[in-house]
Amino acid sequence: MDRYRVIEKFAKEHNWQIGAELGVWVGVTTFHLMRNTKLKIYAIDCWEEQPDNPEYHWQYNEKPKWSKGKDFHPWDHKKNEFLFRHNAEKWKDRITIIKGRSLDVIDQIDNASLDFVFHDSDHSYPFVKNEIKAYANKLRPGGFHIGDDLNWDPVRQSVAEAFDNTHTEIGKGCWYKQKSLWDGG
């Protein structure tokens, strides 16, 4: 099961109303959720190069060694942002776009306001772990951290450490952890 179907499944099972997607790219997950749920989404992405990020090059300019895909094209951030914003127009009442790095814009989301956070932004270690910990307070009691790309070593290490290996794997490289079931938020 792909990431967007995992989120859709949980949204329907738990009657979710609102979540945040960290790293939206062109909106594959966001728009699937718009078509198949009644969710409201904070769509967060910086859509820019990150010269201060030592992991940037391997994530965006070359095929990551953990990626199983055969094709790779370096990211065109301006084009990706344009496509997302253009396609999001029809759901402007349900999508709130926040441009910026996930850890830099966290104060734009109220504490205990989200049913889930989908982590799919910077895939480096320890960024993923730090992002999980930072966004824990944004979740309501019983809310979920969800992510994908668990087959990428930096993601796997970050998730394992953030949750002391108590997360659950589901679908194609997806993982989740319910807030009320772990210490730290």
pLDDT at 15 over 90: yes
Average pLDDT score, the chain: 90
Closest CA to 56 of 77, 71, 38: 77
pLDDT at 70 over 80: no
Instruction: Return the ∠ at Cα 95 (arms to 22 and 11), rounded to 5°.
Output: 70
In b/e form, how buried is each residue of 67-80, taking b as 16+ CB within 10 angstroms? beeeeeeeeebeeb
pLDDT at 168 over 80: yes
How far CA 19 is from CA of 16, 66, 75, 113, 143, in Å, comes to 8, 27, 25, 8, 9
pLDDT at 144 over 90: yes
Instruction: Give the least confident one: 27-36, 54-63, 69-78, 159-168.
Output: 54-63
pLDDT at 149 over 60: yes
Round to whole Å and give the CA distance between 88 and 81: 10
pLDDT-derived band at 131 (thresholds 50, 70, 90) equals very high
Closest CA to 30 of 48, 3, 9: 3
The residues, any chain, with a CB within 8 Å of residue 68's CB and separated by 6 or more, are 151
Dihedral, CA atoms, 91, 93, 95, 100, nearest 10 degrees? 120
pLDDT at 60 over 70: no
pLDDT at 185 over 50: no
End-to-end CA distance of the chain: 28
pLDDT-derived band at 183 (thresholds 50, 70, 90) equals very low
Q: Which pTM does this prediction carry?
A: 0.89
Cβ distance 137 to 112 under 8 Å?
A: yes
pLDDT-derived band at 123 (thresholds 50, 70, 90) equals confident
pLDDT score for 48: 87
pLDDT score for 49: 78
